[in-house]
């Protein structure tokens, strides 16, 4: 079955370190997204991509970057991790109709 | 700016009851609306997708309706079961170019179905 996988599922890091969260989907979807989920804020869009070499900023993009070198992968990089970036991160991809499919999430703790 | 609101934030019902979850949005220029289920510590599972031209969608015991003009959607769950306990999220896709899948989420309704 096609799926979307995230790694690592859990990570603890220190302030100032660079962190990369991986996202891989096997549906061959062009559209991919990164969200973060926090208590009191719900899900907020970080970055998104509509195809290879295309990346766009979402609502809360400061301190994050993405790259899209192929259809399957959209890694999310935190250039210099901050405590405010402690969160659960979800990767998603969507069909041409806009139906969104999510990964299981990556829980990041920045100490 | 689009805002999506879900009321109530939490709901507890006895098993077997029919129930309705509410979602409202401030900007009616939506591309679609999607309902998700999230279990604790898990990702989101898509339940129903309603395109802007549709009024409702059904899947098993679930029925979602959409009224764009009033900025409302409801998720109807028939004959609720303890396994339906989860957080239900509503999300809208905005109607500007190339935005398929770029959703704005409500904060969810946490449903508890008691045996």
Contact B91 A101 (CB under 8 A): no
Residue of A91, A72, A64 whose CA lies nearest to A29 = A72
Among the partner residues B45, B49, B105, nearest to A97 by beta-carbon distance: B49
Cα distances from A1 to residues A4, A14, A25, A55, A103, in angstroms, run: 10, 36, 11, 27, 14
Residue A82 — φ and ψ, nearest 5°?
Answer: -125, 155
Contact A45 B103 (CB under 8 A): yes
Determine the residue of chain B that is closest to A47 in CA distance.
Answer: B102
DSSP SS3 for A86: coil
The pLDDT value recorded for residue B47 is 96
The pLDDT value recorded for residue B100 is 56
The pLDDT value recorded for residue A1 is 65
Segment A55-106, tens digit of pLDDT? 999 889 999 999 999 999 999 999 999 999 999 999 999 988 888 899 999 9
User: Is residue A17 less than 8 Å (CB to CB) from chain B?
Assistant: no
Instruction: Put residue A26 in one of left, alpha, beta given phi > 0 → left and psi -120 to 50 → alpha.
Output: alpha
Segment A31-60, tens digit of pLDDT? 999 999 998 888 999 999 999 999 999 889
A88/chain B closest Cα distance in angstroms: 9
Contact B51 A102 (CB under 8 A): no
pLDDT in tens, chain B (115 residues): 889 999 999 999 999 999 999 999 999 888 899 999 999 988 999 999 999 999 999 999 999 999 999 999 999 999 999 999 999 999 998 765 445 557 899 999 999 999 9
The pLDDT value recorded for residue B82 is 97
Asked if residue A2 has pLDDT above 70, the reply is no
A76/chain B closest Cα distance in angstroms: 17
User: Is residue A34 less than 8 Å (CB to CB) from chain B?
Assistant: no
CB atoms within 10 A of CB A73: 16
The pLDDT value recorded for residue A7 is 96
User: Is residue B83 less than 8 Å (CB to CB) from chain A?
Assistant: no
């Amino acid at each position: 079955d096609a799926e979307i996988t995230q790694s690592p599922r859990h990570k603890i890091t220190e302030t100032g370190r660079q962190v990369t969260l991986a996202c891989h989907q096997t549906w061959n979807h062009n559209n991919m997204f990164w969200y973060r989920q926090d208590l009191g804020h719900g899900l907020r869009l970080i970055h998104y991509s509509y195809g290879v070499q295309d990346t766009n900023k979402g609502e809360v993009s400061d301190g994050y970057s993405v790259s899209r070198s192929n259809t399957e992968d959209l890694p999310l990089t935190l250039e210099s991790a901050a405590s405010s970036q402690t969160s659960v991160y979800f990767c998603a991809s969507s069909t041409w109709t806009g139906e969104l499919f999510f990964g299981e999430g990556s829980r990041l703790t920045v100490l | 700016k689009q805002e999506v609101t879900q009321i109530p934030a939490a709901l507890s019902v006895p098993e077997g009851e029919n129930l309705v979850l509410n979602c409202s949005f401030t900007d009616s220029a939506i591309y679609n609306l999607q309902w998700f289920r999230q279990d604790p510590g898990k990702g989101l599972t898509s339940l129903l997708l309603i395109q802007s031209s549709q009024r409702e969608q059904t899947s098993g015991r679930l029925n979602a309706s959409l009224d764009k003009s009033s900025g409302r959607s409801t998720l109807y769950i028939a004959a609720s079961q303890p396994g339906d306990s989860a957080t239900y999220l509503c999300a809208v896709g905005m109607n500007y170019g190339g935005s398929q899948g770029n959703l704005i989420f409500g904060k969810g309704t946490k449903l508890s179905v008691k045996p």
